[in-house]
Amino acid sequence: MIGLAIAALSVVLPLLHLALTREPRTKARVVRVLLLYALVLDVGVFGFVFGFIPHVFFPDQAAKMIGWSPSPFQFEVGVHDGAWGVLGFLCIWIGGLFWLATGLGWSLFMLGAAAGHVYQTVTADNYAPYNFLMIFADGFVAIWLLVLLYLHFRCGGFQRRGS
Protein backbone atom coordinates (compact mmCIF):
# COMPACT_ATOMS: atom_id res chain seq x y z
CA MET A 1 0.00 0.00 0.00
CA ILE A 2 1.48 3.28 -1.15
CA GLY A 3 0.64 5.33 1.96
CA LEU A 4 2.55 2.96 4.21
CA ALA A 5 5.45 2.83 1.74
CA ILE A 6 5.77 6.63 1.67
CA ALA A 7 5.56 6.77 5.47
CA ALA A 8 8.38 4.21 5.68
CA LEU A 9 10.47 6.09 3.12
CA SER A 10 10.04 9.29 5.13
CA VAL A 11 11.96 7.55 7.93
CA VAL A 12 14.45 5.44 5.96
CA LEU A 13 15.60 7.99 3.35
CA PRO A 14 16.64 10.71 5.83
CA LEU A 15 18.51 8.12 7.88
CA LEU A 16 20.40 7.12 4.72
CA HIS A 17 21.00 10.81 3.98
CA LEU A 18 22.45 11.31 7.45
CA ALA A 19 24.59 8.17 7.20
CA LEU A 20 26.03 9.17 3.82
CA THR A 21 26.85 12.81 4.58
CA ARG A 22 29.91 14.04 6.41
CA GLU A 23 28.25 16.81 8.40
CA PRO A 24 28.13 16.22 12.16
CA ARG A 25 25.00 14.39 13.30
CA THR A 26 23.92 16.72 16.05
CA LYS A 27 20.49 16.23 17.57
CA ALA A 28 19.26 19.44 15.91
CA ARG A 29 20.53 18.39 12.47
CA VAL A 30 19.09 14.87 12.73
CA VAL A 31 15.68 16.23 13.70
CA ARG A 32 15.83 18.91 10.99
CA VAL A 33 16.66 16.36 8.26
CA LEU A 34 13.97 13.93 9.48
CA LEU A 35 11.40 16.75 9.56
CA LEU A 36 12.29 18.06 6.11
CA TYR A 37 11.97 14.60 4.55
CA ALA A 38 8.66 14.06 6.38
CA LEU A 39 7.30 17.36 5.09
CA VAL A 40 8.41 16.72 1.51
CA LEU A 41 7.39 13.05 1.34
CA ASP A 42 4.43 12.75 3.74
CA VAL A 43 2.88 16.10 2.81
CA GLY A 44 4.31 16.95 -0.62
CA VAL A 45 4.48 13.62 -2.41
CA PHE A 46 1.51 12.08 -0.67
CA GLY A 47 -0.71 15.16 -1.00
CA PHE A 48 0.09 15.98 -4.59
CA VAL A 49 0.95 12.69 -6.25
CA PHE A 50 -1.37 10.38 -4.32
CA GLY A 51 -4.16 12.80 -3.35
CA PHE A 52 -4.48 15.42 -6.07
CA ILE A 53 -3.74 13.31 -9.16
CA PRO A 54 -6.02 10.33 -8.44
CA HIS A 55 -8.98 12.35 -7.11
CA VAL A 56 -8.85 14.93 -9.92
CA PHE A 57 -7.84 12.82 -12.92
CA PHE A 58 -8.95 9.28 -11.96
CA PRO A 59 -11.91 9.82 -9.61
CA ASP A 60 -13.74 6.58 -10.43
CA GLN A 61 -10.70 4.42 -9.72
CA ALA A 62 -9.81 6.42 -6.59
CA ALA A 63 -13.34 6.05 -5.23
CA LYS A 64 -13.32 2.30 -5.87
CA MET A 65 -9.99 1.87 -4.02
CA ILE A 66 -11.45 3.73 -1.01
CA GLY A 67 -14.70 1.78 -1.12
CA TRP A 68 -16.82 4.79 -2.06
CA SER A 69 -19.10 5.62 -4.91
CA PRO A 70 -17.66 8.27 -7.25
CA SER A 71 -18.67 11.82 -6.31
CA PRO A 72 -18.09 15.31 -7.70
CA PHE A 73 -16.78 16.16 -4.22
CA GLN A 74 -13.63 14.19 -5.05
CA PHE A 75 -12.46 17.10 -7.20
CA GLU A 76 -12.50 19.35 -4.14
CA VAL A 77 -10.70 16.70 -2.06
CA GLY A 78 -8.09 16.42 -4.81
CA VAL A 79 -7.53 20.17 -5.00
CA HIS A 80 -7.25 20.28 -1.20
CA ASP A 81 -4.64 17.51 -1.21
CA GLY A 82 -2.79 19.17 -4.09
CA ALA A 83 -2.61 22.50 -2.27
CA TRP A 84 -1.11 20.80 0.77
CA GLY A 85 1.25 18.89 -1.52
CA VAL A 86 2.56 22.15 -2.95
CA LEU A 87 3.13 23.43 0.61
CA GLY A 88 5.06 20.25 1.41
CA PHE A 89 7.32 20.74 -1.61
CA LEU A 90 7.84 24.42 -0.76
CA CYS A 91 9.34 23.31 2.56
CA ILE A 92 12.50 22.53 0.56
CA TRP A 93 13.03 26.28 0.08
CA ILE A 94 11.04 27.87 2.90
CA GLY A 95 11.79 26.98 6.51
CA GLY A 96 11.03 28.43 9.91
CA LEU A 97 7.42 28.93 10.86
CA PHE A 98 6.33 27.77 7.38
CA TRP A 99 7.40 24.25 8.40
CA LEU A 100 5.35 24.54 11.59
CA ALA A 101 2.22 25.68 9.75
CA THR A 102 2.57 23.03 7.04
CA GLY A 103 3.31 20.18 9.43
CA LEU A 104 0.69 21.12 12.00
CA GLY A 105 -2.05 21.69 9.43
CA TRP A 106 -1.37 18.42 7.60
CA SER A 107 -1.15 16.50 10.90
CA LEU A 108 -4.56 17.76 12.00
CA PHE A 109 -6.02 16.83 8.62
CA MET A 110 -4.42 13.35 8.81
CA LEU A 111 -5.82 12.78 12.32
CA GLY A 112 -9.28 13.69 11.04
CA ALA A 113 -8.83 11.49 7.96
CA ALA A 114 -7.70 8.55 10.12
CA ALA A 115 -10.75 9.02 12.36
CA GLY A 116 -12.97 9.06 9.26
CA HIS A 117 -11.41 5.83 8.01
CA VAL A 118 -11.95 4.19 11.42
CA TYR A 119 -15.58 5.34 11.37
CA GLN A 120 -16.11 3.95 7.84
CA THR A 121 -14.47 0.66 8.81
CA VAL A 122 -16.60 0.24 11.94
CA THR A 123 -19.96 1.56 10.74
CA ALA A 124 -19.92 0.61 7.05
CA ASP A 125 -17.68 -2.47 7.25
CA ASN A 126 -15.44 -0.74 4.69
CA TYR A 127 -12.21 -2.73 4.47
CA ALA A 128 -11.26 -1.43 1.03
CA PRO A 129 -7.47 -1.07 0.86
CA TYR A 130 -7.44 2.73 0.68
CA ASN A 131 -9.88 3.02 3.54
CA PHE A 132 -8.73 0.47 6.11
CA LEU A 133 -4.96 0.62 5.51
CA MET A 134 -5.05 4.42 5.46
CA ILE A 135 -5.89 4.32 9.17
CA PHE A 136 -2.30 3.26 9.81
CA ALA A 137 -0.63 5.49 7.21
CA ASP A 138 -2.60 8.62 8.16
CA GLY A 139 -2.23 7.95 11.88
CA PHE A 140 1.51 7.35 11.64
CA VAL A 141 2.13 10.44 9.49
CA ALA A 142 0.16 12.67 11.85
CA ILE A 143 1.94 11.46 14.97
CA TRP A 144 5.38 11.35 13.28
CA LEU A 145 5.04 14.95 12.08
CA LEU A 146 3.80 16.17 15.47
CA VAL A 147 6.70 14.46 17.27
CA LEU A 148 9.23 15.91 14.81
CA LEU A 149 7.70 19.39 15.06
CA TYR A 150 7.95 19.23 18.85
CA LEU A 151 11.55 17.98 18.75
CA HIS A 152 12.50 20.66 16.21
CA PHE A 153 11.00 23.30 18.51
CA ARG A 154 12.93 21.86 21.49
CA CYS A 155 16.14 22.06 19.43
CA GLY A 156 15.59 25.78 18.79
CA GLY A 157 13.79 25.52 15.46
CA PHE A 158 11.07 27.89 14.27
CA GLN A 159 13.04 30.97 15.36
CA ARG A 160 12.10 34.10 13.49
CA ARG A 161 14.97 35.39 11.43
CA GLY A 162 16.24 38.80 12.56
CA SER A 163 14.37 38.80 15.89
Query: For position 161, what pLDDT does the model report?
Result: 53
Q: Determine the pLDDT at residue 1.
A: 73
Q: In this predicted structure, what is the pLDDT of residue 2? A: 85
**95's torsion region: left (phi>0), alpha (psi -120 to 50) or beta?**
beta
The 10 Å Cβ neighbour count of residue 112 is 12
- What confidence score (pLDDT) does residue 31 get? 98
Alpha-carbon distance 36 to 23, whole Å? 16
> What stretches in the chain show pLDDT beneath 50?
163
